[in-house]
Structure 1
Amino acid sequence: MKKPAVKRTFRLDAALCRELDERARSRRMTRTDIVEAALASLLTPDQEERLEAVLARRLDRLSRQIERLEWHIELSNETAALFIRSWLTNNPPLPDAALQAAQATGKKRWEAFVDTLARRMELGPKFQEEVSLGTRPGTHSSPAAK
């Protein structure tokens, strides 16, 4: 015996209607059956618990992403700090006579550095991958190569 039905008229977004039609075709169901199932799912008492579980999973994923970002930032900061300390410790100040030539050389070296950095950011390998894999910088090994 069929349950009594009540006819209702609703306006739906055209894109949502297309998705509904496609889902009905792919599952070989009527649009009414899909809408009824969706409404029943939405209106069930455990909906709040399911929503809470979905939100908890999303928050956990975001927390893990933030932890990875923190690690990357810390790695970058430590790398810069070690380089700066090493450079300041090992490079004496230049005499005034050599300053102009050093600045011209420095400009060329800076441009080469920026080009290399852009290439590595686009193509890799990233320094973080080298550190994570335990390889030495400059060996250009990547996860795909292993």
Structure 2
Amino acid sequence: MSRARLNVFLEREHAQRLEELSAMKGLSKSGIIAAALASFLSPDGGDRREAAMARRLDRLSQQFERLERDQTILIETLALFIRHNLAVTAPIPEAHQEAARAQGRFRFEQFIEQLARHLQRGQRLVKDVIEEATPGEGEFFAEGNETTSTPETAA
């Protein structure tokens, strides 16, 4: 097979990267450029790029779905906690309100310190809770799933 000689002008950065790749792989610069050109001109090259893009999009979609699922779990957890807390907390008499506020500030400071320690250690309690709470990836949020209990149905 005969080969044609071409003079090609490259950006300095591309020429430098080509030089580094040639040295690292032990290949000639002509061989690297020929392989890149063959891949670019290949009829299935576009299909391969499209398939790679589709795989990346699928992976991003799965990550987004997990984030959406986790967010839904967190919102529901917070809503149930607030409902429960409001239902079981008795009103505080006027004489004890200042002491209750001080106690609340103290508890909140403890909570923030505990949260900071937990995050510094790199632990994820939410992930552990979600894994314990979800019976299976597809089962938990299936439409029409009436097996989860709420405070109304549990009573």
Whichever residue aligns with residue 2 of structure 2, its letter is: K
Residue 138 (structure 1) aligns with: none
What is the distance in 1 between the residues matched to 2:16 and 2:104? 60
- List runs of 5+ in structure 2 lacking aligned partners: 134-155
Residue 11 (structure 1) aligns with: 10
Provide the TM-score with structure 1 as the length reference: 0.80
Residue 139 (structure 1) aligns with: none
Aligned with 2:108 (options 88, 107, 110): 110
- List runs of 5+ in structure 1 lacking aligned partners: 135-146
Whichever residue aligns with residue 75 of structure 1, its letter is: I
Whichever residue aligns with residue 25 of structure 2, its letter is: R
The CA deviation at 1:98 is 0.8
The CA deviation at 1:39 is 1.4
What is the distance in 2 between the residues matched to 1:39 and 1:53? 19
> Pairwise CA RMSD of aligned residues?
1.8
Tell me the alpha carbon deviations over residues 10-62 of structure 1, each in whole angstroms, 9 at most, x when there is no partner.
12242x33332232123221111101111111121212211110111011101
The CA deviation at 1:4 is 3.1
The CA deviation at 1:76 is 0.8
Aligned residues: 132
Q: Does the CA contact (< 8 Å) of 2:73 and 2:130 recur in 1?
A: no
Q: Does the CA contact (< 8 Å) of 2:22 and 2:32 recur in 1?
A: yes
Tell me the alpha carbon deviations over residues 69-99 of structure 1, each in whole angstroms, 9 at most, x when there is no partner.
0111011111101211111111011111111
Provide the TM-score with structure 2 as the length reference: 0.76
Identity %: 38
